[in-house]
Structure 1
Amino acid sequence: MKIGWKFGCLGAGFCLGIDEDIVVADSKNHRIAVYAKMGALKFQFGDAGKRNGQLFYPRKVAVFQHNGNFVVCDRGNGRSRMQIFSRCGTYMFKISIRFMDIVTGLAVTAKGHIVAVDSVSPTVFVISEEGMLLHWFDCSVFVREPSDIAIRDNVFYLCDMKAHGVTVFKDSVPLSHWQREGILLPHGH
């Protein structure tokens, strides 16, 4: 495999946006950068700071596919803060996540629910777009230190940095676990 092209900035997290945009949480520069599929910078937003609408070392970013709005997690309130920005980068509102310490995984489901993973007490939280906690499950029995999450068809793929693996969950139930040896095992083996 060879590199097709390389572009961008030092970031803590990225996701794919609407129109195949590449969205980067540029931690060092306290901003979100949005690139076209081939690497041209389309726009960026964020001013350094801890007030609402500002960004302080953004770690994770995700995009709502139905409206193009962004959800951003940064260190604005100590450990983690979650804010919603419009598809053009205008601050909309903050979501209170006092129940989370450090967000290490962030995604948006096809239904528009925010899924955030806390690495301090390994837990997955499902939050409405308006900020209401809908569901949560403790994954500490199955995952040592979650580092990111991907979602497809309501199946959650949770990366485990310490165990060097991926655990697959559906409806809060682990389905399988893949470790660095490349073996996909049913849960319990």
Structure 2
Amino acid sequence: MSGSILVAYATRYGSTQEVAETMAATLRERGFEVDLQPAQDVKTLAGYQAIILGAPIFMSRWHKDARHFLTRHSIALATLPVAIFALGPTHADEKEFQEARQQLDTELAQFSWLTAYAVEIFGGKFDPAKFNIPYTLLPVLKNIPASDVRDWDAIRAWTSKLPAKLLWAPAYTGEVPSD
């Protein structure tokens, strides 16, 4: 784990995990040591050089596991370079992307101590067949067709630029306090 990049993710139905896996693979292809973990399973950030955290925006909220991750590891994250991504829009509509970015910015504003060196919104995946209670009880969600607007080329391109932004970030001291 020493000197590696952590890609932590929260997911509801697996779509964000698939994106995180692609990010980890992209970084590994470029020679970086990468640890991929669900955000809720991360116990410590000791030994990591940089953190990438991603989660979906669902029902206008960023996934609770991502918010809890930021709270739980706040001391260490205040000293590490961090990149944040969210999956949100389920249609290739610019207005949806802007709204998702506003929602993410609102969520991140709750963590005033956090300096994110990169923040990005990617299109998401919507599959009502995977929903469980209570969402299966909402008729409006049943009538929305399935969609997948994840742009894999954009995801890989953004990920490829992260090491330059994160590993040489001005705030990075190399010292990570215990959390």
**TM-score, normalization: structure 2?**
0.25
Bigger helix share: 2
Q: Which has the higher contact order (CA 8 A, sep 6+)?
A: 2
Bigger strand share: 1
**TM-score, normalization: structure 1?**
0.24
